[in-house]
Amino acid sequence: MQKDLTDLMQALGVKFQNIDTLRQALVHRSYLNEHPKFELAHNERLEFLGDAVLELVVTENLYGNYPNPEGELTNWRASLVNGDRLADVGLTLTLEDYLYLSRGEKKDVGGKARRYILANAMEAVIGAIYLDLGWDDAKSFIERHILSLLPMILESKEYIDPKSRFQEASQEHVGITPSYKVMDEEGPDHAKVFTVAVYLGKDKIAQGTGSSKQEAQIDAARAGVEAKGW
């Protein structure tokens, strides 16, 4: 079923010449499994293109506007282009309402898999803008919706990775270095999910999940910062 993308283009602030270029950016691979005769391909090639455009626009902007050392700029860029950030931007732009998903994927509203799909779709949309309208329009879109978040990121120090943030804050507030403990691991070897808890002394503060112990620790640290209000 074709979707009316007029409102989405208004939210994006972009008028596509070829509406199917935008439409393709919204097609998840799972949709084609159920609709093999759908006239468009999935969005993974556009995602590949958009990822490169996003990285270059953000890098060019940071390099041209900030005299900071390479390490700091790298952290700032990572905070701007990571999957969680892109998923949040996608939600703000109502991208979720327009995705072409399988029936199974549609049920995972608000889940991690949906956020992953949203982040990839955001990259695909950027790729679609670049392909349909060129560099200047893609750059303008990224400046409006992603680079505009930099002042907030710098003020809140979100560019510091969650484990470092939680460790610095816990040492400052309670004089304790956090420790992490694997609480559970499930799933086959190729698709394990780890659950890790973060402790301050003997007190369990929060827990997180991830496809690796490191990813689960980062998720737990992020939850710990939120739990403590740091």
For 134-184, how does the pLDDT look when each residue is reduced to its tens digit (9 = 90+)? Answer: 999 999 999 999 999 999 999 888 888 889 889 989 999 999 999 999 999
| Band (104; pLDDT cuts 50, 70, 90) | confident
The closest alpha carbon to 133, from 25, 3, 206, 34, belongs to 25
The closest alpha carbon to 82, from 111, 28, 118, belongs to 118
33-52 pLDDT tens trace: 999 999 999 999 999 999 99
Distance CA 82, CA 86 (A): 6
Tokens (6 digits) for 100: 């072409």
C-alpha distance from residue 76 to each of 40, 118, 124, 155, 212 (Å): 36, 21, 22, 12, 24
Active site residue 51: yes
Active site residue 123: yes
The strand ranges marked E within 90-178 are none
Distance CA 177, CA 180 (A): 10
* pTM of the shown model: 0.78
Q: How far apart are the first and last CA of the chain?
A: 46
Tell me the helix, strand and coil percentages in the chain, rounded to 5. Answer: 65, 10, 25
Which of the two residues, 143 and 218, has the higher pLDDT score?
143
Own/partner pairs, 144-152, CB within 8 angstroms, 24+ separation = 144/13, 145/89, 145/92, 145/93, 146/54, 146/58, 146/80, 146/81, 146/85, 146/86, 146/89, 147/57, 147/58, 147/61, 147/80, 149/80, 149/85, 149/89, 150/76, 150/80
Domain boundaries, the chain: 6-156, 162-228
- Can you name the residues that pair with 182 across neighbouring β-strands? 196
The pLDDT score that the predictor gives to residue 66 is 96
Which of the two residues, 48 and 105, has the higher pLDDT score?
48
Name the CATH topology of 162-228.
Answer: Double Stranded RNA Binding Domain (3.30.160)
108-140 pLDDT tens trace: 776 778 888 999 999 999 999 999 999 999 999
Catalytic residue among 51, 96, 132, 158: 51
| The architecture CATH gives domain 6-156 | Orthogonal Bundle (1.10)
| Band (1; pLDDT cuts 50, 70, 90) | low
Which of the two residues, 228 and 1, has the higher pLDDT score?
228
Tokens (6 digits) for 98: 């327009």
CB of 24 within 8 A of CB of 128? yes
Catalytic residue among 47, 96, 105, 123: 123
